[in-house]
Amino acid sequence: MKLFDWWGKIVTEDEEKQMLHRIEGKIKTYGAETATLLAIRAFKYVSYLGVMMGRFFLGPLTPLVTHEHDVFLTTIGRRENLELLEKALDESRRVKA
């Protein structure tokens, strides 16, 4: 395993879309749409700060962090991605009801 192999990689828009799709799938699998919507609506305006704190505290574990973790943090750190996820989950919840 090469340490810091992901360091120079940039998260692409396609990777973000795939990660959003994976997150949405996990949420739907567990039926947690309503709880997730509550959390997204409560914290989407400070999500960037949470991601920065996460990156800070993951600093000592950097050799263990993969590019996939970076994609996840980048995806949830952008408000427009959270709004897309919120919209998709809200539609899914309305279809269920």
- Whether residue 7 lies inside any domain: the answer is no
For the record, the structure tokens of 58 come out as: 């993951």
Asked if residue 2 belongs to a domain, the reply is no
Q: Is 67 exposed, middle or buried (0-12, 13-18, 19+ CB in 10 A)?
A: middle
Residue whose structure tokens are 């990156």: 55
For residue 1, pLDDT over 50 is answered with: no
Tell me: the pLDDT tens digits for 43-91? 999 988 988 888 888 777 777 777 788 889 889 999 999 999 999 999 9
- pTM for the whole structure: 0.81
pLDDT at residue 70, rounded to an integer? 83
Q: Is residue 3 in a domain?
A: no
Q: Judge whether 91 and 30 are in contact, CB under 8 Å.
A: no
Q: Count up the domains in the chain and report the number.
A: 1
4 occurs within a structural domain: no
Query: Residue 6: which pLDDT band, with cuts at 50, 70 and 90?
Result: low
Does any domain span residue 58? yes
Q: What is the mean pLDDT of residues 87-96?
A: 91
- Domain residues for the domain of 20 are 13-96
Q: Which position has the token pair 């970076």?
A: 70
Cα–Cα dist 59/39, whole Å:
26
